[in-house]
Amino acid sequence: MRFIPKLSIAGRMAPRLSLLGLCLAAAIASAQETLPLLPKWTRFQGELVSLKAYDNPIQDVQLKAVFTSPADEQYEVDAFWDGGNDWKIRFLPDLAGKWTFHITCSDEDNRGLHNLSGAFRCTAPLGGNALSQHGSIRVSRDRTHFVHEDSTPFFWMADTAWNGPLKSNEFDWKHYLSERKRQGFTAVQWVATSWRGASDGDAEGNKAFAGREKISINPEFFQRLDRRVEAINNAGLLSVPVLLWAISGDENPVNFLPDDQAILLARYMVARWGATYGAWFLGGDGDYSGTRAARWRTLGQAVFGGGRHFPVFMHPKGKSWVFEEFRDEKWMTALGYQSGHDVNDATNNWIHHGPASRDWAKLPHRPVINIEPAYEGQNSYSKKQPISAHEVRRALYWSLLSTPTAGVSYGAAGVWGWDAGDAPTPGHPNAGTPPDWRDALSFDAGEQVAHLSALFRSIEFQKLRPDSGVLAEQPGDEALSEYAAAASSGDGRLVVVYTPVEKRLRINVAKLPTPLIAAWVNPRTGERSSVLAVLRGAALECPAPGPGDWLLLLRSKPAEPVAPGN
């Protein structure tokens, strides 16, 4: 049977057709050789109506679609149940031309779901924001950073709003996204099921599912999240959900679900949001070492082992590293780590000299992101005082320059828990009472992300690699809190150095081409000032302009154009 899909374009839906209407429309389209049109990198959505009712559709029926591209490549995606007799199929086409699809159902007698075929024509992209203009993100060819589908570099600057989609209303969520967009963020990390930070469900009391040995899905919970995800993308930001929060506690589904049900739940969410602009955290805040790793490898292979997916991370517990346990897992395409919520020497040393800074060059390469550095306003574990804006900036810049620069994440007390400022965040009774999320939204370091994001997006950040040899001497040898992080491009034509305190940096000019254009950048204001440097031997001495932390930016001077005839 031919099937004419309901196509989703920039959040607007075409009228839904009945089964009879689908057949008539298919016959007309076939006779006229016309096809529905869909811009590239815009969600395809097909809606189907089951002719049978099932007691527990997610358990009783499996529905899949195979999409064939204009280049004759095939992609298989799961469909998902959306309540009643309604099923949906979502897909994000990435190539202009004619696409075809074929839908099959495990219940071959259900003619509303089985053996349906159709086609649409993919046209030029709409280009309403960077995502719809350049496409979803993937790992670059050299596997050190992220790029859009058209190979435009993507700088990861994520906010951790773990509870935001669960607890916000639509008005507040749009306000939050507008502010984070203004502040230079490019992605939002959040939790996609009830978890220990939101054990009572979403703002309306809905939970993602019921049961343990055989779960049943609550479509209303996910329909509500659909609107939050769509708002993230409409703001031009990447949606990055955690599918299975993994820290200890019965509030977190992965800790009480058997493997087959955890896989079923995760695949359901991938089917719902696999046609958005996003990335995935399979596990959240977990210990994936030792014998635990085998289970997560099984889950990852079952959820992401086949087909085409956005970048996939594991989100590990603080100061842990998952490279060795998942080195050969092809489904895990990006490396995340969590330096955690402390600012002591042990944490600082872990960022500078820990496994991320040592292992990033090991094969197979993957982008490396500090996905949870110190949260602004959160009490540090060791000092029991709120983490300052300076300490947050320090962790951000250190993280960006300690591995090949791909991006970093930020967090703020109050925002991540979507707190009202009158009680501790659920699941964290001993962490104190955080501020109202609206107040925390304008914390100093959060506002200063705008300068960080603008700077790195204005340079070829993707070429930067850690390079301690740029410095003739390291100020942090005597005090880790004064460690100067340095990175350069392979040819030395781009250098970035961050010092957390006012220092006279000594640059090893023998490593660098000349002439160089140099500037100090104030990470608190974004202002740039001239570098007053003195050449002493093989080192260029550059005193910082004043108190506080600073960035030193060195770039080779462009070659003078050659006059015609010379």
Whole-number Cα distances in Å, 293 to 243, 280, 286, 314, 463: 17, 18, 10, 11, 32
Nearest alpha-carbon partner for 393 in 357, 454, 445:
445
User: Per-residue pLDDT tens for 173-219?
Assistant: 999 999 999 999 999 999 999 998 999 999 999 999 999 999 999 99
E-assigned strand segments in 63-155 = 63-68, 74-78, 80-81, 86-91, 97-105, 116-123, 137-139, 146-148, 153-154
CA distance 297 to 452: 35
Cis peptide before 364 (omega within 30 of 0): yes
Please work out, in degrees rounded to the nearest 5, the angle formed at the alpha carbon of residue 90 by the alpha carbons of 244 and 205. Answer: 45
CB 286 within 8 A of CB 262: no
Q: What's the mean per-residue pLDDT of the chain?
A: 92
Residues near 226 by beta carbon (within 8 Å), at least 6 away in sequence: 272, 273
User: Per-residue pLDDT tens for 332-379?
Assistant: 999 999 999 999 999 999 999 999 999 999 999 999 999 999 999 999
Give the pLDDT confidence score for residue 563 in this predicted structure: 53
User: Is the pLDDT confidence value at 38 over 80?
Assistant: yes
Amino acid letter, residue 55: D
User: Is the pLDDT confidence value at 308 over 50?
Assistant: yes
3-state secondary structure of 544: coil
Give the pLDDT confidence score for residue 16 in this predicted structure: 37
CA distance 440 to 160: 12
Give the pLDDT confidence score for residue 43 in this predicted structure: 96
Residue ranges and CATH numbers for the domains of the chain are 8-126 (2.60.40.10), 131-465 (3.20.20.80), 467-556 (2.60.40.1180)
Give the pLDDT confidence score for residue 33 in this predicted structure: 60
Nearest alpha-carbon partner for 3 in 92, 144, 152, 104:
104
pLDDT band at 426 (very low <50, low <70, confident <90, very high): confident
User: Per-residue pLDDT tens for 500-526?
Assistant: 999 999 999 888 887 889 999 999 999
3-state helix, strand, coil in the chain (%, to 5): 25, 25, 45
Share of the chain above pLDDT 70, in %: 93
Bridging pattern class, strands 504-508 and 539-543: antiparallel
DSSP H helices, 164-237, are: 164-167, 170-182, 219-234
What mean pLDDT do residues 404-409 have? 98
Q: Report pTM.
A: 0.94
Residues near 12 by beta carbon (within 8 Å), at least 6 away in sequence: none
What mean pLDDT do residues 319-334 have? 97
pLDDT band at 535 (very low <50, low <70, confident <90, very high): confident
Region of poorest pLDDT, from 142-156, 296-310, 392-406, 530-544? 530-544
Give the H/E segment covering residue 131.
helix 130-134
Burial class of 301 by CB neighbour count within 10 A (0 to 12, 13 to 18, 19+): middle
* Residue 2 dihedral angles phi and psi, to the nearest 5°: -75, 145
| DSSP secondary structure letters along 346-361 | HHHHHHHHSHHHHHTT
What mean pLDDT do residues 72-82 have? 97
Give the pLDDT confidence score for residue 19 in this predicted structure: 37
User: Is the pLDDT confidence value at 127 over 60?
Assistant: yes
pLDDT band at 561 (very low <50, low <70, confident <90, very high): low
Give the pLDDT confidence score for residue 518 in this predicted structure: 93
Rg (the chain; Cα; Å) = 25
What mean pLDDT do residues 130-135 have? 96
Residue 58: other Cβ atoms inside 10 A: 20
| DSSP annotation of 37 | E
CA distance 531 to 38: 52
User: Is the pLDDT confidence value at 483 over 90?
Assistant: yes
Amino acid letter, residue 487: A
Nearest alpha-carbon partner for 310 in 393, 390, 230, 240:
240
Give the pLDDT confidence score for residue 21 in this predicted structure: 40
| DSSP annotation of 36 | -
DSSP H helices, 403-544, are: 437-440, 444-458
User: Per-residue pLDDT tens for 46-68?
Assistant: 999 999 999 999 999 999 999 99
Give the pLDDT confidence score for residue 24 in this predicted structure: 41
pLDDT band at 427 (very low <50, low <70, confident <90, very high): confident
User: Per-residue pLDDT tens for 3-14?
Assistant: 555 554 433 333
Helix axis angle, 219-234 to 259-273, nearest 10°: 40
User: Per-residue pLDDT tens for 64-76?
Assistant: 999 999 999 999 9
Share of the chain above pLDDT 90, in %: 84
